[in-house]
Structure formats: structure tokens, C-alpha cells
Amino acid sequence: MKSLQKGFTLIELIVVIVLVGILASIGGIFISRPIEGYVALSRRAELVDSADTALRLARFFSVEPQLWMNLQAQYDLEMAERKLAKVANLEIVPLKNAA
């Protein structure tokens, strides 16, 4: 009597899963470099934009550009402190308390 196979066997499914995993890891290797490059480029562009803005504001208000850069740096520091406050208190042990 002929057996009509409907669907896939377990081995076929496992082979497909392994092949998809291999292809995904290869794709991840080739994609990670351009993504890192894009992130670095966007960070540099952000710094250039900050400097450009500082120069323009300094000229408009007749002050030093460093004032605006310091204000931006202070703001960035405060935002980082707010974001990492809980994590920093739990995970980071001060050097004097580590011993």
C-alpha cells in the first residue's frame, strides 16, 4: 500500500532551521560593519551640528562659542545621569569601597 506523505519530517524541519540560522549569522556579519559605520558617522555629524550651532549662537548673542558647548555638555551629562542613576548605584562600586 502506498503511503502518502503530508507535511515535513522532523529532520527536514531541523535542517531548514539550521540553514536559516547559518544564513542569518552570515548576514549579521556583513551587516554589522555598515551599521557601526553609520552610527559613528551620525555621532560625528551630531558633534559638527553642535559646534555649528554654538558658533551661530555665539555670533548672534556676542558671546564665546565655548559657552554654548559647555551648556550642551552639561545638558548631556545631566541626561546621562538621569538615565543611568539607578543602574550606576547598583552596579558600580566606588574604588575606595571595593577593597
pLDDT digits (tens, 9 = 90+) for 21-76: 999 999 988 898 889 999 999 988 888 888 899 999 999 999 999 999 999 999 98
Model confidence pTM above 0.85: no
Residue 20's pLDDT is 96
Q: Which residues have C-beta within 8 Å of that of residue 95, sequence separation ≥ 6? A: none
pLDDT of amino acid 7: 79
Q: What is the average pLDDT across 65-88?
A: 88
Q: Which three-class secondary structure string do you get for 32-98?
A: HHHHHHHHHHHHHHHHHHHHHHHHHHHHHHCCCHHHHHHHHHHHHHHHHHHHHHHHHHHHCCCHHHH
* pLDDT above 90 for 8: no
